[in-house]
Amino acid sequence: MSATLPHEQEHSRRHWYLRGVRATFSIPGLILSSAFVGFAGLAKAAGLTLWQSVFMVGVVWALPAKVVLIGAILSGASLPAAAFAVALSSIRLMPMVVALVPEMRTERTPRWVLYALSHFVAITSWVLAMEQLSSVPREMRTTFYAGLGGTLVLANMVLVGVIYVLADSFPPMVMAGLLLLTPIYFLTSLWGSAREGAAHVAMGLGIVGGPLVHFVAPSFDLLITGFVCGSLAFLWHKAGRVKISA
């Protein structure tokens, strides 16, 4: 594949873009969509308008960041506090992009292409890309990812818009079920994406700590819980290392 002639490459560029689009329609893609159905319900319950919800899907994209942002809006956080909480919850995007870029890049890939494509990075598209990029010719990987990431974002923007409009006609029980989708999706996907045991400790502490801290400091609950429980998990991680090496 690496020795394709220019005109063949033009042809196969479209082919690989469509292959990326098709990769969207997969089990992880479907699960993500169910979480976005839940997000639409959450955004509506939080008082966002239709266009604000769809806008948020497009510009933020990462679901944990959006849920943190909604959480901050609900608890009446100020703009700087909300931005700080969202930024903290999204630091994980950096190592993910750091890992993905070498997979996609060739010597001739323009920088702006990588910056533009990085916007599509979130858990699901990242997992799909890391899984499938190795079977895509290197010069076609950015094209493939543009198809994959772009379709995921657009499809879920449309989905959130449709569910937002339809939500009023859902019985309360269905709405309750929709609103439970986000936490259960995060609980399981976050547990599965953990790289080290410390992440599971951080999850256990955070899930209990969050609501407890919320009683004391509702506007800063996420930041305080993140720092305190995250630090404790990190200390646990370091203590484990010392024990093993001693």
Partner 1 sequence: MTFTALQYWWWPYLFILVAGWLATDVWRYLGVYFGGRAAENSDVIVFIRCVATALVAAVIGNLVVFPSGALADTSLILRIVAMAAGFVAYLLVQRRIVVGIAAAEVVLFAGLLLG
Binders of partner 1 among residues 7 to 26 (CB under 8 A) are none
Report, in Å, the least distance between residue 16 CB and partner 1.
21
Site for partner 1, residues 30 to 49, rule: CB under 8 A = 31, 34, 41-42, 44-49
The residue within the footprint of partner 1, chosen from 23, 60, 129, 163 (CB under 8 A), is 60
Q: Of 16 and 185, which has the nearer Cβ to partner 1?
A: 185
The C-alpha R_g of the chain, in whole angstroms, comes to: 20
27, 131 contact by CB (below 8 A): no
The residue within the footprint of partner 1, chosen from 19, 36, 66, 159 (CB under 8 A), is 66
DSSP string, 112-135: HHHHHHHTT-SHHHHHHHHHHGGG
Contact between 59 and partner 1 (CB under 8 A)? yes
166, 66 contact by CB (below 8 A): no
The residue within the footprint of partner 1, chosen from 72, 133, 159, 160 (CB under 8 A), is 72
Q: Near partner 1 by CB under 8 A, which window of 4-12, 91-99, 136-144, 145-153?
A: 91-99
- Between CA 188 and CA 186 the distance in angstroms is 5
- Kindly report the CA angle at 192 between 190 and 194, in degrees rounded to 5? 70
Contact between 237 and partner 1 (CB under 8 A)? yes
Task: Kindly report the number of other CB atoms within 10 A of residue 233's CB atom.
Answer: 21
Q: Of 19 and 63, which has the nearer Cβ to partner 1?
A: 63
The residue within the footprint of partner 1, chosen from 20, 29, 64, 149 (CB under 8 A), is 64
- Between CA 42 and CA 24 the distance in angstroms is 24
Q: Of 137 and 240, which has the nearer Cβ to partner 1?
A: 240
The site that binds partner 1 (CB under 8 A) totals a number of residues, namely 112
The mark string for 109-138 relative to partner 1 (x by CB under 8 A, - otherwise) is --x--xx--xx-x-----------------
DSSP string, 82-97: HHHHHHHHTTTHHHHH
The residue within the footprint of partner 1, chosen from 17, 19, 24, 85 (CB under 8 A), is 85
Q: Of 5 and 244, which has the nearer Cβ to partner 1?
A: 244
How long a stretch of residues is the chain? 246
Contact between 225 and partner 1 (CB under 8 A)? yes
Q: Shortest CA distance to 126 belongs to which of 88, 156, 100, 87?
A: 100
The residue within the footprint of partner 1, chosen from 92, 137, 139, 155 (CB under 8 A), is 92
Contact between 69 and partner 1 (CB under 8 A)? yes
Q: Of 19 and 72, which has the nearer Cβ to partner 1?
A: 72
- 3-state SS of 38-99? HHHHHHHHCCCCHHHHHHHHHHHCCHHHHHHHHHHHHCCCCHHHHHHHHHHHCCCHHHHHHH
End-to-end CA distance of the chain: 51
